[in-house]
């Protein structure tokens, strides 16, 4: 019989996780978490070893009331964890410094982020025209044009900029998305100055063969460290898609502790992949993450207490290992 | 950068799922489901296209009261779905007839199965000495010796016999299990006449590199169609392990609708991989299963109503696709 002897030949020895629970997670909770709860969450994430944490979004409180305290939160966190100014040459995998980032939908958000002392921002758009219009009320072209007013100045200020492209694996309105179009947008964001573009399975409909096709195209167009995967576990396939990414050499993954989060404009899209589940799998494969799995489990439990509901991540429920005396 | 171009070269075009919810699922429910609930569950599974269904266990009601109606259930199901006698030459993947199997721990169980008209039985043991003793109160050697009294006569009666080896990915008492020992036991069961041996991640602790190592050994010792994977999703890794199995060519997987089941003697071991989640992933990859995904979702919902609790499978919760008008 035919084995595939080189299945794991390109699997990286180390990966970097980008934590999105304070932003992508909390913006999708029905209840608004008070500032002290957010501080407790981020402290637990830092204690678990996470170095890249998206803490909030500088968006109008009218749109996302859950994140209305963005300015106050950023200032409090930067005071508690002082970080040096950003450098675009920072290595993404080794010897990372702690870095808080924040989503900024426009120039106004950028100004708030800068005033708060944030040195990495993220911009967000969709690979689906309809989803982009429903989500940010603009066409894809208009969004890219507006990003010129965010990304350019941010880079001039010495900030690092990260891009998100959502609905790459499928759109709740349009269904299938042409991977060529999605990667074209990702490349555009990279060319505009995003050091990394995170490709999102927003509705969590992705399956592994599709992942192989999307990521082959992405890795053909973009440098390896400029590509991240942002997978939702809505249909249980997040880790199986991530395995395929790992086998292709991908080493940047977004995750959310406890599996908190989804997308309010993508119906049925519950659950980012849980940071502790992803780290459990990676550690089991001997892939370094710099994370302390026990403390990640504690962070997931803290997250549950902070949002006041059970979260779907599995490792924090089952425990790291079920050894019995 | 190095891509792995042959990642999916050995992925099969068709796989066969072996449904374990009526046995492995229901034996682990706290509540005892009445006979009419079990009939409703199996009918829903048959309607979804499942051809291989393990309906019960002919074990003492003292041990598993949930399955005390095994004789009555088997007779009722065989009357409702008459099947021809077993043939060891039946193809496992194509043109399968519906076939109900039942776990038989010993010769007494075999006699009951035969009296009920069952033509495929399963035998169950562990790769861990401690787990085997806790679970079936015998050493591994004594278990294999007793199987001689079950497997031999069953084959003489023209039955098909399937074997389970549990705790292959880890034991709740012993921790790591030597894959050589596990596959040695699997090979022994195959040599004793089991047409297929199902290797189980009983506590759901498995990760993909481990899966590659275990399955490489299994496929090196046993014919391809004699190997099945029985993965638990306790830590969310079931589908990522199955992807690796698929990439190695494995085409037989156990599953349980809704993700029902676990192991009462393996603490923390909640959840077989959900049949609908596995089928969703397989269909998304273009791998044929013969199953109707919509009806599988209906079966999972029926299972929830029958056991009276929410089940952990994801696709039956999220829906097959979240398209919105």
Residue B293 forms contact with A (CB below 8 Å) = no
pLDDT at residue B92, as a whole number? 74
Report how far apart, in Å, the C-alpha atoms of A253 and of each of A227, A246, A278 are. 9, 10, 9
Whether B234 has its CB under 8 Å from any CB of chain A: the answer is yes
Res. B268: pLDDT tops 80: no
Check residue A264 and give its pLDDT: 54
pLDDT for the residue numbered B321: 77
Q: State the count of interchain CB pairs (< 8 A) between A and B.
A: 182
3 state SS of A271? coil
Q: Average pLDDT over chain B, rounded to whole?
A: 92
- State the Cα–Cα distance between residues B235 and A18, nearest whole angstrom: 20
Q: Hunting for tokens 């294999």 — which residue is that?
A: B144
Catalytic residue list of A: 263
* ipTM for the whole complex: 0.94
CATH topology of domain B16-318: TIM Barrel (3.20.20)
DSSP assigned state of A220: H
Q: If you measure CA to CA, which chain A residue comes closest to B318? A: A268
Residue B171 is a catalytic residue = no
Report the pLDDT averaged over residues B260-269. Answer: 61
B161 conformational bin, left if phi > 0, alpha if psi -120 to 50, beta if neither: beta
Rg of chain A taking only CA atoms, in angstroms:
18
In angstroms, the separation between the Cα of residue A273 and the nearest Cα of chain B is: 10
> B308 Cβ partners below 8 Å, 6+ apart?
B31
Helices (H) and strands (E) in chain B, counts: 11, 8
Which stretches in chain A have pLDDT values below 70?
A: 1-5, 83-91, 94-95, 262-270, 322-325
Instruction: State mean pLDDT over B255-284.
Output: 84
Q: Does B169 touch chain A (CB under 8 A)?
A: no
Q: In percent, how much of chain A has pLDDT > 70? A: 91
pLDDT of res. A270: 65
Cβ–Cβ contacts within 10 Å for residue B77, how many? 25
Q: Does A262 touch chain B (CB under 8 A)?
A: no
B 91-120: CB under 8 A from A: none
Of B216, B236, B274, the CB nearest to A314: B236
Task: Please give the DSSP secondary-structure letter assigned to residue A81.
Answer: S
Q: Kindly tell me if the per-residue pLDDT of B2 is higher than 50.
A: no
* Domain limits, chain B: 16-318
Residue of B nearest to A250 (CA): B3
The answer to whether the CB atoms of A236 and B204 lie below 8 A apart is no
Interface test with A, best of B243, B267, B278, B315 (most A CBs within 10 A): B243
> Averaged over B177-182, what is the pLDDT?
97
- Per-residue confidence (pLDDT) for residue A141, from 0 to 100: 97
Residue B86 has pLDDT above 80, yes or no: no
pLDDT, tens only, B145-170: 999 999 999 999 999 999 999 999 99
- Digit-coded pLDDT (tens) for B197-221: 999 999 999 999 999 999 999 999 9
What is the 3-class SS of B143-199, one letter each residue? HHHHHHHHHHHHHHCCCEEEEEEECCCCECCCECCCHHHHHHHHHHHHHCCCCEEEE
pLDDT exceeds 60 at position B37:
yes
Find the mean pLDDT for residues B181-209: 97
Q: Is the pLDDT of residue B5 over 60?
A: no
Percentage of chain B modeled with pLDDT above 90: 82
Q: How far, CA to CA in Å, does A323 sit from each of B131, B203, B266?
A: 12, 9, 9
A182-241 per-position pLDDT tens digit: 999 999 999 999 999 999 999 999 999 999 999 999 999 999 999 999 999 999 999 999
Residue of A nearest to B208 (CA): A285
User: Average of pLDDT values for B45-57?
Assistant: 97
Q: Does A249 touch chain B (CB under 8 A)?
A: yes
List pLDDT tens digits, range B298-321: 999 999 999 998 898 999 988 987
Q: Are B233 and B242 in contact (CB under 8 A)?
A: no
């Amino acid at each position: 019989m035919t084995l595939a002897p080189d299945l794991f030949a390109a699997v990286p020895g180390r990966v970097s996780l980008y934590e999105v629970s304070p932003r992508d997670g909390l913006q999708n909770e029905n209840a608004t978490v008070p500032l002290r709860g957010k501080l407790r969450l981020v402290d637990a994430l830092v204690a678990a070893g996470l170095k890249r944490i998206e803490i909030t979004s500088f968006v109008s409180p009218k749109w996302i009331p859950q994140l209305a305290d963005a300015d106050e939160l950023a200032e409090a966190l930067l005071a508690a964890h002082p970080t040096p100014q950003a450098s675009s040459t920072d290595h993404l995998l080794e010897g990372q410094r702690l870095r808080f980032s924040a989503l900024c939908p426009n120039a106004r958000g950028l100004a708030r982020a800068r005033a708060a002392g944030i040195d990495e921002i993220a911009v967000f758009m969709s690979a689906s025209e309809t989803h982009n219009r429903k989500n940010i009320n603009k066409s894809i072209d208009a969004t890219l044009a507006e990003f010129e007013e965010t990304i350019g100045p941010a880079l001039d200020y010495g900030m690092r900029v990260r891009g998100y492209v959502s609905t790459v694996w499928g759109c709740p309105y349009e269904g299938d998305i042409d991977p060529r179009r999605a990667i074209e947008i990702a490349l555009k964001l990279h060319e505009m100055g995003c050091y990394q573009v995170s490709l999102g399975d927003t509705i969590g409909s992705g399956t592994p063969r599709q992942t192989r096709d999307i990521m082959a195209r992405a890795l053909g167009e973009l440098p390896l460290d400029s590509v991240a995967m942002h997978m939702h576990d809505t249909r249980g396939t997040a880790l199986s898609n991530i395995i395929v990414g790992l086998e292709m050499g991908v080493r940047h993954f977004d995750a959310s502790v406890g599996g908190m989060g989804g997308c309010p404009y993508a119906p049925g899209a519950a659950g980012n992949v849980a940071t502790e589940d992803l780290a459990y799998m990676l550690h089991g494969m001997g892939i370094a993450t710099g994370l302390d799995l026990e403390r990640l489990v504690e962070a997931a439990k803290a997250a549950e207490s902070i949002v006041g509901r059970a979260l779907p991540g599995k490792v924090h429920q089952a425990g790291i290992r079920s050894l019995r005396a």
